[in-house]
Structure 1
Amino acid sequence: MILPFIMVLTGLSFLTLLSLQDPLRDRFLAKDTLVYPAMGFAAMIGILLFNLRRFTADSTFYRLLIFKNNRKAANGWPWIIIAIGLLALTIRFGSGPEGSGVKVNLFGFQPSEIVKYLVIIF
């Protein structure tokens, strides 16, 4: 029931952006904005084609292939250990913007983005 409403809002926002133009760069804003709904639809189709039933607590992926014979690994502890390890590496080897002392990057990427998903899987 909510999908048609979302589609109407997306269409109206796209039509609004078609009427706007960035005066400094002389380009339309709608072209860049249309990419994101297309990426979202592609991601939804990809998830629909993927068999998510393989990712139960007894699957070898969930147990990280290393803990496949250990029954205690089915509770998700390996995932949180990886998350804590990434955060510890960031504290030890991380860098921040312009030497401010804040360590958010680890070798060019932000591990906090990965840690969010690891905590959800845990």
Structure 2
Amino acid sequence: MIKCLIANGADLNQEVCNRGFSVIQCALFNNDMMKLLIDNGCDIDKGPMGRSMLMIFCVKPDDHDSAECFSDAAEYLLNFGADANKTADDGTTAIFYALSQKNSEKDFDLIELLVANGANIDKANLEGITPL
């Protein structure tokens, strides 16, 4: 179905359901679908409320399986060139969101991955607060 929509010119950066969700956000649990969307022009740095999809996936739900999937999706986005320093409307970046988590081993892995992909740990938000 998605391939048919793409073939017929569907806008992959269109907001879904007028609720701020992006198409790629809806593909969260399916990396093959995420790859298909990215390969066909889906903007991986565009998300709801001025946040990037990387920021969204750095905020993990309490459910362990979903949290694992969010970490995998964040890694996948970075591997496809997501901007680790893209700022939200309030000046925060993905590393702010990753550092706000419960600090499990997987969270530290994500923080290391963000830094390895150029995340600036000294970049302040609009209130002058840095991630550290």
TM-score normalised by L of structure 1: 0.24
Q: Structure with the greater relative contact order (CA < 8 A, sep ≥ 6): 1 or 2?
A: 2
Larger radius of gyration: 1
Greater percentage in helix: 1
TM-score by length of 2: 0.23
